[in-house]
Amino acid sequence: MSKSLQETAWSAVAQAPWAWLFLALVATGTALLFTPLEPYRLVWLALLVAALGAYGLKPGLITALAVSGIDLLVHSSSQVFTLGSTLGLMAVAWSSDRVRRSLARASQQQAMAAGQLDLLVRALHVLSEISSREQVFETIPGLLGGSGEGNRLWLRQQGRLLSLPATHPGLDDARVHTAVHQAYQEQVVVYQVSDRTKQSHLALPLCQCGEVVAVLELRRTRPFSPGEREGYEHFARAVSDRLTWVAERAEAQLLNQLSTSLASAQSVSGVANRALALLTSSLGVQSGMILRQQGDQIRLVGSFGVEKLVDEAWLQQQFSNADCLIWEVYRTGRPVFVEDLPQDFSHTSAAMYLHRSLVVHPVALPGASRTRVMLCLTDPQPRQWLHSERELLARACRAVSLAMEGAMARERLETVLDLSRRASLNNSELLYHQVLSSAVELIPGAGAGSLLVRKGQRFYFQATAGYDLDSLTSVSFSEADHLRWYGGGVDAWQRGEARILSDDQVSIQEASARSASAPIDRTQVEQIRANLAVPILYQDEVLALLNLDNWHDSQAFGSDSLEAARFFATPVATLLHEAHTRQRLEEAALTDSLTGLANRRAFNVFIDRELIRSKRYGQPFSLLFLDLQGFKTINDQLGHAQGDQALVLVAHAMRQAHRKSDGLFRFGGDEFAALLPQTSAEQAVQAAQRYASAIQQIAIEGLGLGVNIGVAAYPLDGTDRDMLMSLADERMYTAKNRKISIVHEPGLVGG
């Protein structure tokens, strides 16, 4: 008979006293029949009572009373003996029941321990084959089976606890039991019994890397014994250990994939895009960006999923907002995690705020005083950024940092090599601008700058970034001026050491005013917050000075900026020296040795460039051809030396009368030319009158000079070089024949 049938049978018997009386009579008769001898009768009766008492206290007591009564009737023993026997038999019945209860409890505890052990063994076996966090959570209900009357697994999702039904889907999910909250908040096992419903709640925190990620809640109407609670705690620890193993394994795989993938990336954008593809997939977020600080701008160097929301131009506009979280990370160097972005959040201008959860994490480059690179991950749903995920991001950003530093070094090297290739193809002026723009792009912290090149004993602005070059062309500095601006000492200057000047240390505006030999627009200097000055040294002589500026951060330049500047300065010095040498040779080939003006060859180069530029931008320009009057008389009467002096004075007079943008040329003999960019025909006539007036003031030993000028304008008079030169030459001879100063068709202007 099975255990359940036995319990049912004895339960029925226990409810019928007459049945016990019948059994007792049968037992007594049997005892008397088989134990006729006095010494053994009581022993047999005690054994009979003990046997029936094993089924419960009530059967044992009834049997003890029955056999005592029958024994009294049959053997007529003394009352004292009968009373003692009866009490003894009742004691035997009570002891038998206590033994029965103890054995039942031991059997129950053994069965429960076996069940708990079976649960733990099955859990360890099943969990050992699981390799993802989601699979762990999906497996828990099946492992528990019928061990509870209302099991729930509570996960932290979208900013709140949500349950996964385990055995009873009809239970109310809307209200989280206080035991669950306490287990989640305090990371402890919580056991509660409801006074109202008498329902028992056992809440078990499930941890990943020491942090609660879920709570397992077990409910039932009967209490959980201490042994059961201990068994479920072991089960929860086994699940937590597996969650931790899964997380650590995923982290190791991600870091290994990052190292392998980023090692082969050749560019900054390649590093950024590969890192984002791995990180967004591993962390389960929708989109990401890697951003790079450049001067007063944040530039997007890589993205994943962002292009589906907005374009890069819109992103760039938003990143310029100084209140943006990105700039906060730039200034502090500390990551920012947002689990659920408030709808009224004030920093709503950047594209990442289209999402609810985000992280902006610094990618600290070696030696950088500021955060130059930042990682931004976003997701449209609120989420909890676990401590393990934060540590993973920190380790991942270190791997990205090393790869990014290598890519930036390759970027600097490729830029220098590219400048070397271009140096032989471009003129010096274009090379100066390329050198400066490359320096602003590659040296950390730079947002603007200027390049001053030595010409003789003074330094002149040859290229600017962020400033008006035209307003600075008249400004020059001596080496002593530069030393005052440099402020680092003569020895450091002659070694070409870069120096940093911060607005926190000294007024940059005052330092600039002390060193300038000519007034500089204050508005251009007032906005500078930090300056990096790099003497470009070649063969122990400072050939140029590279100034790099930042307009918004006095701490923009650091040791990484100095290191990049040192790397950049050495090859650039060679390039500038070669360009300077080539420029001198070109100037010698394009310059008239007597007057110092450009020659006919230079004129052909300049007019071709001006034609291209004017056609591209739709702007006019004009051409003047000049032929001197009276020069032959001076040359014949006073000699060639005085004739040469007359030509020198004419060149000087033209320089005094010309605009900065005008080109002046000597064609040969007593013929000159002027090229006037962005000048209409009417304006060209006015310029011709200035030149004519200046030349007419020249006299050599009483012999004066005059001039005949022909004017041609683009596009009014022609759209190619030959047509314009032919018209200007023709009109010059028309003026000479008519003995007037200036001719420009369709009208004539004389003087």
Q: How far apart are CA 574 and CA 417, in angstroms?
A: 12
Amino acid symbol at 106: A
Cβ atoms of 191 and 202 closer than 8 Å: yes
Residue 294's beta-bridge partner residues?
Answer: 297
* Among 444, 341, 340, 333, residue whose Cα is nearest residue 394: 333
pLDDT at 317: 53
pLDDT at 54: 63
Q: Do domains 130-251 and 600-749 have the same CATH topology?
A: no
pLDDT at 272: 93
Place of tokens 């200097």: 525
Of 3.40.190.10, 2.30.30.280, 3.30.70.270, 1.10.8.60, the CATH number of 600-749 is 3.30.70.270
Sheet containing strand 458-465, edge to edge, reads 476-478, 458-465, 448-455, 541-550, 530-538, 499-502
C-alpha dist (Å) from residue 349 to 330, 336, 354, 592, 719: 17, 17, 9, 60, 50
Q: How far apart are CA 384 and CA 337, in angstroms?
A: 9
pLDDT at 557: 92
Residue 162's beta-bridge partner residues?
Answer: 155
Quickly list DSSP for 316-373. HHHHT-TTSHHHHHHHH---EEESS--TT-S---SGGGGSSEEEEEEE--TT-SS--E
pLDDT at 236: 84
Place of tokens 């490729």: 414
Q: Can you say whether residue 252 is alpha, beta or left, with left for phi > 0 and alpha for psi between -120 and 50 degrees?
A: alpha
Cβ atoms of 576 and 537 closer than 8 Å: no
Long-range CB pairs of 116-123 (<8 Å, 24+ gap) are 116/227, 116/228, 116/230, 116/231, 116/232, 116/234, 116/235, 117/231, 119/143, 119/144, 119/147, 119/231, 119/235, 120/231, 120/234, 120/235, 120/238, 123/235, 123/238, 123/239
Reading the block at residue 268, the tokens are: 């900054």
Query: Which class is domain 265-413?
Result: alpha beta
Q: How far apart are CA 564 and CA 385, in angstroms?
A: 36
| Beta-carbon contacts of residue 43 (< 8 Å; ≥ 6 apart) | 35
Give the fold, CATH level 3, of 426-585: Beta-Lactamase (3.30.450)
pLDDT at 39: 56
pLDDT at 539: 83
pLDDT at 75: 61
Cβ atoms of 626 and 708 closer than 8 Å: yes
pLDDT at 676: 94
Q: Is the pTM of this model over 0.85?
A: no
Reading the block at residue 134, the tokens are: 């989601």
* Among 274, 317, 292, 291, residue whose Cα is nearest residue 441: 292
DSSP 154: E
Q: CA torsion 270→274→275→281, rounded to 10°? A: 160
Quickly list DSSP for 428-443. HHHHHHHHHHHHHHHS
Instruction: Specify whether domain 130-251 bears CATH 3.40.50.300.
Output: no
> What is the average pLDDT score of the chain?
79
Residues of the chain with pLDDT under 50: 1-15, 17-18, 33-34, 37, 78-81, 166-174, 309, 344, 346-353, 746-751
Q: How far apart are CA 126 and CA 238, in angstroms?
A: 11
Instruction: Give domain limits for the chain.
Output: 3-106, 130-251, 265-413, 426-585, 600-749
Amino acid symbol at 275: A
pLDDT at 672: 95
